[in-house]
């Protein structure tokens, strides 16, 4: 009996900690000028990889178009995107990283606005809630987690329909095959939801998709 | 007024609501018989109900060993798992629980388990992942995949203690495994396949793993 009440109280106080973090995060992220594009990707990628350069270029061109860039603030693809997105003085776009404590990862050297949260779900919530497009570079568990969370939220209409771009045809090939061959065939995902995301290797196509949704530029 | 103010008020409202729902959920979970096993899976009965039968079989065996089964509370695999545990358990009130999300399958009534509805997906995942001693995943769509990778991510980054993750249906997960190997070669994933999860077609084997891992666990300790 008392143990059970103790457990509930513990959860309650834990949640109060979460609440402050969420509020602080929302305050920071909602000060970013819209539109916002989130870039996800793996932390373990070398600086001479082709995806690294592509992420760098993408970040750079997004900021030039006055689109703010939101990343996980870590190394790898996140670093490439933020290094590209170092903001020129005249623009109003900003770049922000949201990290998680106790990972042993330092924030990368390029990120200009950075804060850390204790919980992964809080980070994901903030990374997905305010964005008008998602670009997913090759990555591991965390990236897959974020990608599938976005699709689930759109499927269940908890998030409005936004474009999701999977970058790297070769890397995501097997994954798309799994979705098409197994998941679609057995009806665990609908064709409508598959149409949400685009598999590409071409930055130009990424821009044209994002611009349609963000309603900026020509 | 500034936009951040409205956003913050909205976030405050959402977090207070889901905080209360989580505390309520933890209370309900602590009343279940311990330990707790989570069963994830899709909303359909795939391949003529083959996987649904396996889910039902697995949760029957869990209930026989005094474990309780929690699911997402929806139709398909989740319903089958709930029903298996409910039918087999001696103490039916403490055998099983579903944790659903409002706005998804609202008109579905689970015949076997009480379903606790929470507002947000993160609250549901908090309740489904934090208090279980093992995860069993049946074929499912992106929601199932999301839960799988969230668990793996949290385990890899030591935000959660190591628990067994069991995938059932080797033919269904085959292409995803291929992708996994590919990503492992690229070094995006550092956890080798054998230590990440167990893939099997045999409910007995899954049960053996759970029995080796779970018996002493309880969230009421």
Query: What is the pLDDT at residue B196?
Result: 80
In chain A, % of residues over pLDDT 90: 2
**Among residues of chain B, what percentage have pLDDT more than 90?**
12
Average pLDDT of chain A to the nearest whole number? 83
Query: Hey, which residues 159-188 in chain B have their CB within 8 Å of chain A?
Result: 159, 172-176, 178-179, 182-183, 186-188
First to last CA, chain B: 48
Instruction: Report pLDDT digits (tens) over A48-59.
Output: 788 888 888 888
Which of the four pLDDT bands, split at 50, 70 and 90, describes residue A72? confident
pLDDT at residue A159 is higher than 80: yes
**Which among A18, A149, A177 has the least Cβ separation from residue B146?**
A149
**Could you give the CA distance from residue A187 to residue B104 in angstroms, rounded to a whole number?**
17
The pLDDT assigned to A217 comes to: 47
The pLDDT assigned to A216 comes to 52
pLDDT of A200 strictly over 60: yes
Q: CB B194: neighbour CB atoms within 10 A?
A: 8
Percent of chain A past pLDDT 70, that is, above it, reads 94
Helix axes B142-156, A120-129, angle to 10 degrees: 130
The predicted-structure confidence for A107-144, as pLDDT tens digits, reads as follows: 777 788 888 888 888 888 999 888 888 999 888 888 88
> B153 at the A interface (CB within 8 A)?
yes
Cβ of B4 within 8 Å of Cβ of A19? The answer is no
* Global confidence as pTM: 0.88
- Is a pLDDT exceeding 60 seen at residue A215? no
CA of A165: how far to CAs of A184, A200, A204, A205, in Å?
Answer: 19, 7, 12, 9
DSSP B135-172: EEE-S--HHHHHHHHHHHHHHHTTSS----EEEE-HHH
Count CB pairs under 8 A between chains A and B: 169
Give the separation between CA B58 and CA B44, rounded to whole angstroms. Answer: 17
Cα separation, B19 vs B15, in Å, equals 6
Which of A11, A122, A103, A125 has the alpha carbon at shortest distance from B131? A11
Cβ atoms of A143 and A164 closer than 8 Å: no
Minimum-distance CB partner of A156 among B47, B104, B144? B104
Q: Do A30 and B149 make contact, defined as CB atoms within 8 angstroms?
A: no
Give the nearest partner residue to A23 out of B8, B103, B220, using CB atoms: B8
Q: Are A171 and B183 within 8 A, CB to CB?
A: yes
Q: Does position A218 have pLDDT exceeding 60, yes or no?
A: no
Q: Mean pLDDT per 10-residue run, chain B (221 residues)?
A: 80 89 90 87 77 89 88 88 87 86 82 87 90 89 88 85 88 85 83 83 87 73 62
Contacting residues of A for B15, CB less than 8 Å apart: 15, 18-19, 22-23
The SS3 assignment for A207 reads helix
Question: Average pLDDT of A159-166?
Answer: 86
What per-residue confidence (pLDDT) applies to A214?
Answer: 60
């Amino acid at each position: 009996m008392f143990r059970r009440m103790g457990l509930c109280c513990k959860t309650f106080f834990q949640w109060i900690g979460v609440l402050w973090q969420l509020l602080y995060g929302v305050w920071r992220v909602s000060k970013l000028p819209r539109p916002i594009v989130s870039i996800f990707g793996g932390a373990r990628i070398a600086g001479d990889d082709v995806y690294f350069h592509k992420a760098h270029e993408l970040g750079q061109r997004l900021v030039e178009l006055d689109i703010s860039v939101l990343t996980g603030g870590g190394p790898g693809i996140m670093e490439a995107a933020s290094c590209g997105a170092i903001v020129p003085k005249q623009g109003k776009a900003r770049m922000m990283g949201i990290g998680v404590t106790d990972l042993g990862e330092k924030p990368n050297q390029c990120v200009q606005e950075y804060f850390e949260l204790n919980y992964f779900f809080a980070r994901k919530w903030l990374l997905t809630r305010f964005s008008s497009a998602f670009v997913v570079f090759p990555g591991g568990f965390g990236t897959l987690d974020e990608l599938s969370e976005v699709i689930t939220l759109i499927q269940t209409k908890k998030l409005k329909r936004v474009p999701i771009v999977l970058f790297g045809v070769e890397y995501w090939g097997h994954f798309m095959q799994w979705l098409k061959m197994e998941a679609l065939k057995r009806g665990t995902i609908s064709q409508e939801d598959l149409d949400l995301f685009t598999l590409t290797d071409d930055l130009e196509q990424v821009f044209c998709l994002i611009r349609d949704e963000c309603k900026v530029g020509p | 007024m500034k936009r951040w103010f409205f956003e913050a008020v909205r976030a405050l409202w959402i977090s207070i609501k889901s905080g209360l729902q989580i505390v309520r959920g933890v209370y309900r979970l602590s009343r279940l018989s311990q330990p707790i096993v989570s069963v994830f899976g899709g909303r359909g009965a795939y391949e003529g109900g083959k996987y649904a039968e396996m889910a039902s079989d697995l949760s029957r065996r869990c209930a026989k060993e005094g474990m309780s089964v929690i699911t997402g509370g929806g139709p398909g695999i989740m319903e089958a798992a709930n029903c298996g545990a409910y039918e087999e358990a001696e103490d039916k009130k403490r055998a099983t629980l579903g944790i659903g999300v409002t706005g998804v399958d609202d008109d579905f009534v689970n015949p076997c388990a009480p379903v606790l509805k929470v507002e947000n997906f993160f609250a549901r995942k908090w309740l489904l992942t934090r208090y279980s001693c093992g995860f069993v995943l049946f074929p499912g769509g992106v929601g199932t995949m999301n839960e799988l990778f969230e668990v793996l991510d949290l385990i890899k980054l030591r935000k959660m203690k190591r628990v067994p993750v069991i995938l059932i249906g080797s033919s269904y997960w085959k292409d995803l495994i291929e992708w996994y190997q590919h990503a492992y070669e690229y070094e995006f994933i550092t956890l080798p396949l054998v230590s990440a999860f167990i893939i099997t077609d045999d409910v007995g084997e899954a049960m053996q793993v759970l029995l080796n891992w779970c018996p002493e666990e309880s969230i009421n300790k």
